[in-house]
Amino acid sequence: MLTKGAVEDIIMLHLSRREPGGAEPVLKKVPKLGKKVFLSDWEIRRMFKPGSAQVTVPQNAIISPLSHDWLDYDGISIIRR
């Protein structure tokens, strides 16, 4: 019976091969990422003004799935700036 550690060792051994069938690292340039802002449900609710039909968030903001759910349910649009 293989243990979890033994399975990991087999996978890593296979992936470390540099011959056909083994995985080689892909060397490509990754664009520099700016600082991402994660907005939770609590933060979005604080930004929302009652009676408004939209919420303004930073352009690079990551919005939590729960926030998307209640914004969609209430018909509130997200404005990215």
Query: What distance in Å separates the CA atoms of residue 38 and residue 45, rounded to the nearest whole number?
Result: 14
Contact in structure between 56 and 32 (CB atoms under 8 Å) = no
Q: What is the model's pTM?
A: 0.51
- Residues forming beta bridges with residue 78, ordered by sequence position: 55
The DSSP-derived string for 53-76 is SEEEE-TTEEEPHHHHHHHHHHT-
pLDDT tens, position by position, 18-73: 555 555 555 665 555 567 689 999 899 888 888 889 999 988 889 999 999 999 99
Shortest CA distance to 67 belongs to which of 51, 46, 50?
Answer: 46
